[in-house]
Structure 1
Amino acid sequence: MLHMFFAVAFSAVPLTLYVPPIRSLNLFVQTMEEIWRESSGYTHRVYPRVRYAFRRLLDCMLCNTAS
């Protein structure tokens, strides 16, 4: 059982090279939060227009298929 533990442990060590350090993840999360904050104003303006356009398109498609 001890041999199996060491085999699994040493085979997992190279995988840690693919995981970025926590300080890099913090920078990534901070950048994503900034992008989210900057784009939220634009999204709130565009979303009702997209919803309205989709509703008009759906009404048109259903109106044509019903008759």
Structure 2
Amino acid sequence: MNSKQVMIVAVLAAVLTWSTVMTVLGQLAAVAALLPSLGLLIQQIISALGGTAVRSGTTAASPAGSEEPSR
């Protein structure tokens, strides 16, 4: 693992630990508010570690010529 991946995993562990502590202390409303951002955080970390981009709304079989030009 390179240093970038180690940092990503450390941040993920810190966020998940903080969420667990909040839940144990009874802050369920705060945890419920954070769930969408935690889901996105986990998705981005998995994407970064796997080296693949996760794009919503795309399909494997798109018509020819429908791709956006690269910039």
Provide TM-score, normalisation by structure 2: 0.34
* Rg larger for: 1
Relative CO higher for 1 or 2, CA cutoff 8 Å, sep ≥ 6? 2
Provide TM-score, normalisation by structure 1: 0.35
- Of Structure 1 and Structure 2, the greater helix share is in 1
